[in-house]
Copies of this chain bind each other. A is one copy, B any other.
């Protein structure tokens, strides 16, 4: 019941669309109704649902998140990626989407985005249908 796939990010801070891969897992499962949980098992990356049509939206989001949580700001954590940890918690580590008639019930403009805050890296995405 626990599904998993990997993605490769290419920027330090980057939002990457996951909707297609998750709908594909749902199609393969044959599940018609329930809840789809998507979980990110990382501490410098998160997940969010936002506009998928105009790529300027996620560009503005990453730009503004970098202003709100500056990459350098007198942090103590020796690895130097505290800003990434903070942004990960601001976006969250999971989203829940309703399933109806075998489809993810998303709004017209919504897409599911992996939020990379300390890339580029290979990352894992966990999915469970309940």
Q: How many copies does the complex hold?
A: 3
**CB-based contact B43/A50 at 8 Å:** yes
Minimal Cβ-Cβ distance residue in B for A45: B107
Interface size class of A (residues with CB under 8 A): 35 or more
Query: Which of A5-13, A17-25, A33-41 interfaces with chain B?
Result: A33-41
In the assembled complex, which residues on chain B have CB atoms less than 8 Å from the CB atom of A49? 43, 89, 93
In the assembled complex, which residues on chain B have CB atoms less than 8 Å from the CB atom of A50? 43, 85, 88-89
Interface centre among A59, A89, A96 (most CB of B within 10 A): A89
For residue A86, give the distance in angstroms from its CB to the closest CB of chain B.
Answer: 5
For residue A130, give the distance in angstroms from its CB to the closest CB of chain B.
Answer: 5
**CB-based contact B86/A37 at 8 Å:** no
**CB-based contact B39/A54 at 8 Å:** no
**CB-based contact B82/A73 at 8 Å:** no
